[in-house]
């Protein structure tokens, strides 16, 4: 089978005569940083923002942690109990405030919009911008623009951010990750290959734990190693569509238009569990970061859900779903209780079902009362 990769490459640039210039912005440890800014007494102390499940005082997982907490080994998705064991007594633990973070995010995105040709909000703390026309195709001018954007966000909101500049979104995102914290990294077209080759394969967006496990088994450690694999080999493992993405992205050639996502029918997240299980606590704890991420996406777009569903995928790939109606504006704590109840009921009804993957789905989306969607503000 022949795989046509040409439609995904950077040669498809709508700005005739100019090389594409893309900026990717990532707000550093966003939730925790907002809390530090609003309460200076937290500065100099490990700070952890948590998704509390509500079952016990310490049940739930870490959503965001500042760099002082990370130095102790705390990271997103870690159980709160474990994080407390790792941190000294002066550490601060706070509940997540998604609605407030979404308001701060909106203010950042408003700044970005006025400096870009086209912009897409990737998540509550990330955005990608094409600035080709704004900077006349010049990477030097793009760097000047990025410095100005960072300064405007810092002076106006107190927030630090990292920015990557590159010929396409994927490389720009990797550059932004490499620039953390509070940095700026530019990768010009002629530098892309040398920049990507030594990086670990996991630095490539879309390479998760399962894919990494397989790749490591065949001797792939770096993006350079990954780029040497024939697309036919990748297709056997990942399927045609993802194989095309990995084949091009590992070479720095994957490109896509920067277009704003203006409509959402639903927001869903699915995770692979560390081990097959029927333990509700284990499933819900593992799923908490995904629930938080989905809710953050809704908040960033000023949307509310009226239906909450769960997705259970067994070791034999049998899939079972459950859903229920929820009130618009349901808190994250109440959402986690509903998720727990749905999984508990499902596993009781499906007596022999052992879960390999689990997910959550928010549907019946509508605009939050009294507010417009983020995209309407940015048009």
DSSP one-letter string for 331-354: -HHHHHHHHHHHHHHHHHHSTT--
In a domain, 257, yes or no: no
User: Does the structure show a pLDDT above 80 at 38?
Assistant: yes
330 in any annotated domain = yes
The pLDDT-based confidence of 297 (bands split at 50, 70, 90) is confident
Same domain, 23 and 36: no
- Asked whether residue 80 is domain-assigned, the answer is yes
Domain termination residue (choose one: 97, 127, 155): 97
Whether residues 303 and 357 fall in one domain: yes
Predicted local confidence at residue 126, as pLDDT: 95
Residue 15, pLDDT above cutoff 70? no
Mean pLDDT of the chain: 88
pLDDT tier at 374, thresholds 50, 70, 90: very low
Confidence check: pLDDT of 43 > 80: yes
Does residue 260 lie in a domain region? no
Give the per-residue pLDDT at 74: 97
- Helix, strand or coil, per DSSP, at residue 181: coil
- Residue 129 and residue 92 share a domain: no
- Catalytic residue at 350? no
Q: How confident is the model at residue 216 (pLDDT cuts 50, 70, 90)?
A: confident
Look up the pTM and report it: 0.78
Q: Output the domain CATH number for residue 337.
A: 3.30.1490.100
Residues 124 and 244 in one domain: yes
Asked whether residue 255 is domain-assigned, the answer is: no
- The answer to whether residue 301 is domain-embedded is yes
Residue 26 annotated as lining a ligand binding site: yes
pLDDT of residue 94 exceeding 80, the answer is: yes
Question: Do 280 and 162 reside in the same domain of the chain?
Answer: no
Is 125 marked within a binding site? yes
Quote the pLDDT of residue 19.
Answer: 85
Question: Does residue 371 sit within a domain?
Answer: yes
**Average of pLDDT values for 126-147?**
97
Domain range enclosing 142: 17-28+101-249
In this structure, the answer to whether residues 76 and 106 fall within a common structural domain is no
More confident residue, 10 or 331: 331
Supply 188's token pair. 């010009």
**Does residue 238 sit in the same domain as residue 107?**
yes
Q: What proportion of the chain, given as a percentage, has pLDDT over 70?
A: 91
Rounded Cα distance between 264 and 127, Å, is 17
* DSSP β-ladder status, 47-52 and 60-65: antiparallel
pLDDT recorded at residue 133: 95
Is the pLDDT at 6 greater than 60, yes or no?
Answer: no
Q: Is the pLDDT reported for residue 361 higher than 90? A: yes
CATH of the domain at 245: 3.30.70.270
Query: Does 274 share its domain with 298?
Result: yes
For position 55, which CATH number holds? 3.40.1170.60
Q: Does residue 290 sit in the same domain as residue 361?
A: yes
So what's the pLDDT on residue 378?
Answer: 37
Residue 318, pLDDT > 80, answer: yes
What is the tens place of the pLDDT at every residue in 231-267? 998 888 788 888 999 999 999 999 988 877 656 788 9
Choose the catalytic residue: 36, 126, 130, 299. Answer: 126
Q: Which of these three, 49, 65, 97, is where a domain ends?
A: 97
With a cut of 70, say whether residue 3 has pLDDT above it: no
Contact status, residue 171 vs residue 179, Cβ threshold 8 Å: no
For the segment 168-193, the average pLDDT, to the nearest whole number, is 97
pLDDT digits (tens, 9 = 90+) for 61-90: 899 999 999 999 999 889 999 999 999 999
Q: Which long-range contacts (CB under 8 A, 24 or more apart) does 374-378 make?
A: 374/106, 374/109, 374/121, 374/300, 374/301, 374/302, 375/121, 375/260, 375/261, 375/262, 375/301, 377/106, 377/109, 377/110, 378/109, 378/110, 378/113, 378/119, 378/121, 378/260
Domain co-membership, 24 together with 169: yes
Residues 169, 211 within the same domain: yes
The H-or-E segment that residue 367 falls in is strand 366-367
Query: What's the confidence (pLDDT) of residue 354?
Result: 93
In this model, does residue 11 exceed pLDDT 60? no
Shared domain for 347 and 220, answered yes or no, is no
pLDDT reported for residue 261: 64
Q: How many domains does the chain have?
A: 3
Domain-located, residue 10: no
């Amino acid at each position: 089978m022949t795989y046509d990769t040409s439609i995904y490459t950077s040669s498809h640039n709508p700005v005739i005569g100019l090389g594409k210039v893309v900026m990717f912005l990532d707000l550093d440890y966003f939730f925790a940083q907002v809390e530090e800014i609003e309460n200076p007494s937290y500065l100099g102390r490990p700070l952890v923002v948590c998704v509390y499940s509500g079952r016990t005082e310490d049940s739930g997982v870490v959503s965001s942690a500042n760099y002082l907490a990370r130095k102790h080994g705390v990271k997103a998705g870690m159980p709160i109990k474990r994080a407390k064991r790792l941190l000294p007594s002066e550490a601060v633990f706070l509940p997540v405030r998604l609605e407030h973070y979404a308001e701060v995010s909106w203010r950042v995105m408003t700044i970005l919009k006025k400096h870009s040709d086209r912009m897409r909000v990737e998540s509550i703390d990330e955005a990608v911008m094409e600035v080709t026309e704004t900077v006349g195709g010049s990477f030097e001018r793009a760097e000047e623009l990025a410095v100005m954007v960072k300064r405007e966000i810092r002076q106006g909101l107190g927030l630090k951010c990292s920015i990557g500049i590159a010929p396409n979104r994927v490389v720009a995102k990797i550059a932004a990750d490499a620039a953390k914290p509070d940095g700026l990294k530019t990768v010009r077209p002629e530098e892309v290959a040398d920049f990507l080759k030594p990086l670990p394969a996991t630095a490539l967006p879309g390479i998760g734990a399962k894919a990494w496990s397989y790749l490591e088994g065949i001797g792939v450690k770096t993006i350079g190693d990954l780029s040497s694999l024939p697309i036919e080999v990748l297709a056997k493992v990942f399927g045609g569509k993802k194989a095309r993405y990995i084949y091009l992205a590992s070479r720095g050639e994957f490109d896509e238009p920067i277009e704003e996502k203006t409509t959402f029918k639903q927001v869903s997240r699915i995770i692979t569990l560390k081990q097959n299980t029927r333990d509700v606590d284990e499933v819900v704890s593992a799923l908490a970061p995904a629930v938080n991420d989905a809710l953050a996406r809704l908040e960033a777009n000023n949307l509310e859900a009226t239906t909450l569903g769960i997705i259970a995928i067994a070791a034999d790939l049998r899939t079972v779903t459950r859903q229920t109606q929820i009130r618009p504006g349901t808190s994250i704590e109440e959402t986690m209780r509903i998720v727990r109840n749905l999984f508990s009921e499902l596993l009781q009804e499906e007596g022999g079902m052992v879960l390999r993957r689990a997910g959550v789905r928010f549907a019946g989306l509508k605009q939050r009362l009294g507010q417009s969607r983020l995209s309407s503000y940015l048009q």
